[in-house]
Structure 1
Amino acid sequence: MDSTQLNPATQPSDDRGQRSLDAAMLVLAPLVRWLLRHGVHYGAVAQGLKQVFIHEARQELERRGAKVTDSALSVLSGVHRKDVRVLATLPQVQAALVPTPASMLFTRWVTDPALRVGAGDGQSPPVVRPSLPRHGPMPSFEALAREVSSDVHPRTLLEELQRLGLVSLAGDEVRLVADRYVAPTAELEAAQTLGVNVADHLNAAVHNISGGATKRFLEQSVYAYGLSPASAEALAEVARDLWAPAFEAMVQATTARLVGDDADRAATAAALPRERMRFGAYYYHEAEPPEAVTPPPPLAGPVA
């Protein structure tokens, strides 16, 4: 059993906190799925999460007008004081990615001088071995995998590297198909877009359910169950059709507002406050789990 399950200090102190934690776990599930598919494991997330807790604890203390100290940050966030001292000085959300066995194996392959071969002309420097036999003593993929990790089976590491598009398997030979452990530019941009879009959706939802909110942001959804696959696909098209005019209208209104605000600043020479906004919509469907005996209400209206 994980030791954190035995420590009451790591558990919510009341039913309200537990309900919030339960909801957060639902939010995290698809995020963890995405991270796993990109080779990010628990250690990296746990380290990054400490930093997020410290940053948000600092923001919360400042909102309350309280003095920001290492002790106050530790008490509010639950992060140990020694970690607070180290992490509080780093830029926001700059998690130190803990290497995975797969990333360590790949890095070792492309950087270890012992895994290089001569260029063949006697003058050029050695180059990275483009392939390794899958089995056998060093240099082989299996031997390299066992040197890198004694906990993960070489076959599992091979499958992970194949999934990440870093190696391929040809017969009994493992071949490199990439020279760097980096995501393509398009994928990095997509990840950034995912982060800012989902973060602002959550910002709106958290604001709406926070006590004392004087105004509420638009944050609504429609939910239905019992649909056929064809109906779910048809409704996906309806969602796209509904979004198109909303997108155009919001772009036009935003552009007009920006032009007007710039004109006001130029006319008054005043440093008017600046705010940012984001407007979006989403649609998602998937198969209902067979164990869902008692379904939720067929339609759920505004979520505020």
Structure 2
Amino acid sequence: MSELPGVDPGQAVGHDPRAQQALDGAAVVLRPVVRWLLRRGVHYGALTQLLKQVFLAEARNELQRKGTKVTDSALSVLSGVHRKDVRALSNEALPTAPLVPTPASVLFTRWVTDTRFRDPVTHKVVTCLPRHGEAPSFESLARETSSDVHPRTLLEELQRLGVVTVEGEQVCLSTERFVSRPEDESAAQTLAVNAADHLAAAVHNLAVGQQGFKFLEQSVYANGLSEDSGLKLAAVARDLWAPAFDGMVAAATECVRADNAREDTPYRMRFGVYYYHEPVPPKGAPGKPDGSSKLV
């Protein structure tokens, strides 16, 4: 059987305006990704090779979703990847990032959200726990959140991240938010899974009909702002996140406990909030919106 010719990228969109819209949108989405890659020393060639694997993986999923037999030819036609590359990459594993949080972040979240660690009068988080002993203590909390990692190891990791300090025989919180250090592998993994799930929600919403279930995916946009206003709104966003975080953790914990005895529990979820601001280039700068003031 003769080989199928490779697809000319310049003709991949054809005359379908929806395809061109998707490609234009992908260019916007990819800009911060490419910025990140360049700053990490990743060149164009490495990304194109990875994109072949991504296209093939998603093409396989799409064929299976439609009930179509998955063959090299079908994968090549749908993805535009040449058949010789389909065969060559068939056994290549696509990189993945862990979907579950680290033991350190699980412990931190339990500490700042579980009512057992709230002051009974003020309802504020108890910021210091005894290092050892029975509950409530850091040791007991560490053992209940992770059976695989020793409490001392968890404490050292939280100290390294600057999340807790040890003051005598007590372990004390030093921050209200758990954030990985930029140089840590977990920071890149967190970026990947958060951004991927955000995009997955948006892509799903574009694909379902008017009556189909749609995920929450909303934002507020404003420009014509000073730098001071941008920083002020960043603080507002953090303040708004705190009750949303507490409420969702409480609801998710209740659902996990309620579903614990069930066997039909294949679903996972992620709920997040982001905030971003930047100076807008002068009107007419390539790839950027105009600078007229607006709130949407």
TM-score, normalised via structure 2 length: 0.64
From 233, 236, 243, give the equivalent of 1:235.
233
**1:12 Cα deviation after fit:** 4.2
Aligned residue number for residue 77 of structure 2: 75
Aligned residue number for residue 208 of structure 1: 205
**1:277 Cα deviation after fit:** 0.1
**Quick one: structure 1 residues 10 and 244, their matched pair in 2 at CA, closer, same or farther if it must change by over 3 Å?**
same
Give the unaligned 5+ runs of structure 1: 95-183, 266-270
Does 2:264 match 1:279? no
**1:41 Cα deviation after fit:** 0.6
**1:57 Cα deviation after fit:** 0.2
Aligned-residue RMSD, C-alpha: 2.3
1:17-74 Cα distance to aligned partner (Å, 9 max, x none): 1111010000000000000000001011000000000000000000111111000000
**Contact in 2 for aligned 1:55/1:88 (Cα 8 Å):** no
**AA at the equivalent of 2:190:** T
**1:86 Cα deviation after fit:** 1.4
Does 2:87 match 1:91? no
**1:185 Cα deviation after fit:** 9.3
TM-score, normalised via structure 1 length: 0.62
Give the unaligned 5+ runs of structure 2: 1-5, 97-180
**Contact in 2 for aligned 1:57/1:77 (Cα 8 Å):** yes
Count of aligned residue pairs for this structure pair: 202
**AA at the equivalent of 1:234:** K
What is the CA–CA distance in structure 1 between the aligned matches of 2:88 and 2:66, rounded to whole Å?
A: 24
Aligned residue number for residue 163 of structure 1: none
What is the CA–CA distance in structure 2 between the aligned matches of 1:241 and 1:260, rounded to whole Å?
A: 30
Does 2:283 match 1:291? yes
What is the percent sequence identity of the aligned residues?
56
Question: 210-219 vs 223-232, which deviates more?
Answer: 210-219
**1:88 Cα deviation after fit:** 2.1
Report matched runs for 1:1-304 at 5 Å.
Answer: 8-93=10-95, 186-212=183-209, 214-262=212-260, 264-265=261-262, 271-292=263-284, 294-295=290-291, 298-300=294-296
**Quick one: structure 1 residues 43 and 210, their matched pair in 2 at CA, closer, same or farther if it must change by over 3 Å?**
same
* Runs of 4+ in structure 1 over 2 Å off: 4-13, 184-187, 291-297
**1:10 Cα deviation after fit:** 3.6
Larger Rg over CA atoms: 1
